[in-house]
Structure 1
């Protein structure tokens, strides 16, 4: 007699094919990428217009309710209090865009499955968590709980769990080749035994990946949101990269099951986020009159990682890696912050002014120059991600080659982050020693500090 572990799992698509040479998969609906893009233009326009109109309304509400960010002349150098809650305008814009994907898209694109409702449920959970934090400053554990609720919404409908099948399938083989033909039995008290099915292991690894990715992306977006227009503008650039990968996938892989495929959902969600970012950016670019707040930064991280996870619809983990490369700027800044704070012996949640954007602002002398430089860096990462996806989709390169390239890329990012953090720690230690000995040279205020003192 056996005790099965877990309920019946949903059917899982085949593991990522070894080669994709541009041929349309058999029994797939052929998708014209340009026509698909044209069909979803209303999604972009609705998200753009709604965000553009909602932002000043949300700003007035935030000011009247005193949900504002006051300058402190240390990390917050703006000259006057700035309204929070810009993320709510983004939320309304993206939600309106998703609604438009259900109502305004015409055939033949309308026969494809629109943005899954589970993503909208996750959006609500994330936006509510960020809103409460912007108003009352939630404990970190409560913020994590809200993000995990959003991750659970994705896992509930099995969006993103296939990524584990791609990773594990490439590294150790399909489930029926693992654990003695797919199962292993562990004797318990007679006559019972515990039966573990390899498919269940793959599924729960996928669930764990969703949780880790959602937590990581939300907090990475939150950390990079430190200068006027930085997160909104860089996200718009990322969306262009996401859109190109989505269209490539649509044209090359086709749509095997129009009622369940994510071909249209990827394009619609990306266009909704792109429209919302461009609608919000005029109010948020330097000098900003409203900030995204945690509502916006957490929401943007969640939406970006949802799009990236949808690249692995059929276990194409190499395309997920390509999406992560597009998202590399927040990842790089987060890795740098973790290493820096570990070396300094402070809490990982401790705020500081040594993020990438802060250092660039001090080096270049202005917020605008720093933000434009980071836009260029984001565009570079987007080109790299799209090129990697195109190489995988348009050539016969094996998936392990893509893994190797992605591994080298992220290892390089981590090494640079570690070196930068170590140099910062050494510089700080030398400065402390010089001050203790009375030999430190007089500090010269940087441009940003001079500007702050004048204001």
Structure 2
């Protein structure tokens, strides 16, 4: 039934996307090219509405039973309304954030989706107490915006989100979490259907409607799949979301290094750096897909290794690999190369001696 639902959501999204495209032009939900944009012509956005339609159809078909189902649905409607309004009239950052906080608040406060405690590796638990609500809301809003930030090339956010959803759903199957598995499959089918029209050269953009919705659902599903576990295991959703999280993290570092406001836009995100290195639009997207898949595989390996030291070794290797890639492509700054400079210095000293 799961695979049938995935197919139904896929077909629904494919059928809905052309209709949403016409609606986008009719209501003025379009994206005009500028110096920060890669596209060269006016493009319809609002494509996330097609993903949402596929999601609703899948939800009605499967009717997943969980105490989290209704709050997640209500939060999704709030996010979709926020995204549609932003695609139409470009809301101010404060209003857009307010919509995200409201959606997250519904899921966290009304739905009870909270990071309440973590089991410590050497025994005992770390109780978050009154901090559980703000911490969970920060996670949801943070991941929601991280997905939004990587939505800079045709098919990028939709493809990366699909890979993340495959990983979350696969691990939910292994853990016997039926609700997360079902919702993951519903979202995966709906996103892949839209990706048919969104992959380069795109016929429609997902807009904030899609990026915020995908980020919201992924952030909540990752919590439901891995909450209240050990410190080591809690790193799993962070690894799964490695591409959007690392891109957002290094964007913050980049702005601090360059003495720019954290909210300042730029053209130095992961996809911009790869384009500057000479990769084509499609090659850049496929490279980032591969990175996301590697993160997903690393998350599975990380969750299966036995012992804390083995887990730390896997995590250490992953962090060093990320840092080297960041330095190679100039994600922070072209002069930011601590590890590469260190290696170069060691090689130079060896040659000199």
TM-score bracket, normalised by the shorter chain, equals 0.7 to 0.9
Distance 1:352 1:61, change over 3 A: same
Distance 1:207 1:406, change over 3 A: farther
Find 2:76's aligned residue among 123, 133, 152: 123
Deviation sequence 1:100-123 (CA, Å, 0-9, x none) = 221xxxxxxx7x648611111111
Q: 2:99 & 2:316 partners in 1: Cα distance?
A: 30
Q: 2:262 & 2:280 partners in 1: Cα distance?
A: 27
Scaled by the length of structure 2, the TM-score of the pair is: 0.86
Find 1:368's aligned residue among 282, 290, 298: 282
Distance 1:43 1:115, change over 3 A: farther
Structure-to-structure mapping, 1:97-176, within 5 angstroms: 97-102=58-63, 113=66, 116-157=69-110, 159-161=112-114, 163-166=115-118, 169-170=120-121, 173-174=124-125
Please say if 1:268 is aligned against 2:182: yes
Find 2:239's aligned residue among 325, 344, 368: 325
Q: Across the two proteins, how many residue pairs are aligned to each other?
A: 336
Scaled by the length of structure 1, the TM-score of the pair is: 0.68
Distance 1:240 1:226, change over 3 A: same
1:344–1:425 Cα contact (<8 Å) kept: no
Task: Report SS of the residue matched to 2:141.
Answer: helix
Please say if 1:225 is aligned against 2:151: yes
CA apart distance, 1:89: 1.0
Please say if 1:246 is aligned against 2:156: no
Q: 1:40 & 1:114 partners in 2: Cα distance?
A: 20
CA apart distance, 1:331: 0.7
Distance 1:339 1:414, change over 3 A: farther
Find 1:68's aligned residue among 30, 55, 59: 30
Structure-to-structure mapping, 1:440-451, within 5 angstroms: none
Task: Report SS of the residue matched to 1:424.
Answer: coil
Unpaired runs of 5+ residues, structure 1, are 1-38, 103-109, 176-200, 251-262, 428-455
Please say if 1:80 is aligned against 2:41: yes
Higher relative contact order, structure no. (Cα contacts within 8 Å, ≥ 6 residues apart): 1
Deviation sequence 1:347-386 (CA, Å, 0-9, x none) = 2222211111011122233100100111111111110011
Task: Report SS of the residue matched to 1:127.
Answer: helix
Q: 2:72 & 2:324 partners in 1: Cα distance?
A: 34
Number of the residue aligned with 2:334: 424
Number of the residue aligned with 2:132: 206
Distance 1:95 1:171, change over 3 A: farther
Q: 1:296 & 1:285 partners in 2: Cα distance?
A: 14
1:221–1:231 Cα contact (<8 Å) kept: yes
Distance 1:98 1:308, change over 3 A: same
Deviation sequence 1:386-443 (CA, Å, 0-9, x none) = 111233xxx5x35x7646754774586468658945543679xxxxxxxxxxxxxxxx
Number of the residue aligned with 2:348: none
Unpaired runs of 5+ residues, structure 2, are 338-353
Task: Report SS of the residue matched to 1:311.
Answer: helix
Two-structure CA RMSD over aligned residues (Å): 2.7
- Larger-Rg structure: 1
Q: 2:292 & 2:90 partners in 1: Cα distance?
A: 30
Number of the residue aligned with 1:93: 54
2:38–2:153 Cα contact (<8 Å) kept: no
CA apart distance, 1:82: 0.6
Q: 1:339 & 1:416 partners in 2: Cα distance?
A: 15
1:115–1:264 Cα contact (<8 Å) kept: no
CA apart distance, 1:204: 2.4
